[in-house]
């Protein structure tokens, strides 16, 4: 029997049953994930703002470097005593501009990392790991209880068979009991 296809068909028609202890833990986990996402999003926004400021600063220092180079050219043309001072200014402004470019590039990279981290946190908030575990437990319970009926059909139940089994109160109760036992096991919520 193709349990993956069975799981997909189940998900189309039936929601996960609630087990109070697990549902409560899932709500708490989602709340923690939401808070984490908000903090990470704030950090990403701050990193982006810092990166933008660094880029603006680097552009300003590059402008200062160009002005120093222009002043040096003028001083060299006049061959005055200030030519050596202008050469030092060009070296200093070039160093500052290069350092600012490197810092800006690092801040842009940090901002991108922070943005990706925030996106991953948002995805984890939308689909927490505990939810995957609950879905797996539900599919396991359904497969365990319904497999003997599916085997009679050659392992290929149709949606109408699944609807009939879901309406069968004894099968539904057996599935719920099996599911409750799985999620109630020690270590499931860890």
| pLDDT the model gives residue 183 | 82
Q: Which residues contact 160 (CB under 8 A, 6 or more apart)?
A: none
pLDDT mean across residues, the chain: 81
Domain that holds residue 9: 3-184
Q: What percent of the chain has pLDDT over 70?
A: 85
What would the mean pLDDT of 10-39 be, rounded to a whole number?
80
- Dump the DSSP string for 4-63: HHHHHHHHHH-PPPP-HHHHHHHHHHHHHHHHHHHHHHHHHHHHHHHHHHHHHHHHHHHH
Number of domains, the chain:
1
Tens-place pLDDT, residues 142-158: 777 877 777 777 767 77
* CA distance readout (Å), 21 to 24, 72, 189: 5, 75, 9
Chain mean position to CA 31: 16
Do the domain assignments include residue 131? Answer: yes
* CA distance readout (Å), 179 to 18, 75, 113, 126, 170: 10, 85, 39, 23, 14
Chain mean position to CA 80: 61
What would the mean pLDDT of 74-84 be, rounded to a whole number?
67
Do the domain assignments include residue 189? Answer: no
Tens-place pLDDT, residues 91-113: 888 888 888 888 888 989 999 99
Tens-place pLDDT, residues 121-139: 888 888 888 878 887 888 7
Do the domain assignments include residue 190? Answer: no
Distance CA 59, CA 129 (A): 45
Do the domain assignments include residue 174? Answer: yes
pLDDT band at 10 (very low <50, low <70, confident <90, very high): low
């Amino acid at each position: 029997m193709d349990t993956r296809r069975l799981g997909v068909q189940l998900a189309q028609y039936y929601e996960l049953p609630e087990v109070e202890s697990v549902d409560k833990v899932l709500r708490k986990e989602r709340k923690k994930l939401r808070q984490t996402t908000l903090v990470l999003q704030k950090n990403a926004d701050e990193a982006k703002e810092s990166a933008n400021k660094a880029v603006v600063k680097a552009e300003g220092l590059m402008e200062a470097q160009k002005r120093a180079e222009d002043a040096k050219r003028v001083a060299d043309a006049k061959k005055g005593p200030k030519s050596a001072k202008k050469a030092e200014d060009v070296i200093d402004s070039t160093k500052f501009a290069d350092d600012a470019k490197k810092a800006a590039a690092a801040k842009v990279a940090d901002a991108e990392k922070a943005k990706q981290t925030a996106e991953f946190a948002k995805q984890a908030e939308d689909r927490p790991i505990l939810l995957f575990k609950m879905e797996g437990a539900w599919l396991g319970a359904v497969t365990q209880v319904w497999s003997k009926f599916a085997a009679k059909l050659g392992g290929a139940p149709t949606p109408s068979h699944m609807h009939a089994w879901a309406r069968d109160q004894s099968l539904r109760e057996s599935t719920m009991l099996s599911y409750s036992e799985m999620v109630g096991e020690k270590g499931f919520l860890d």
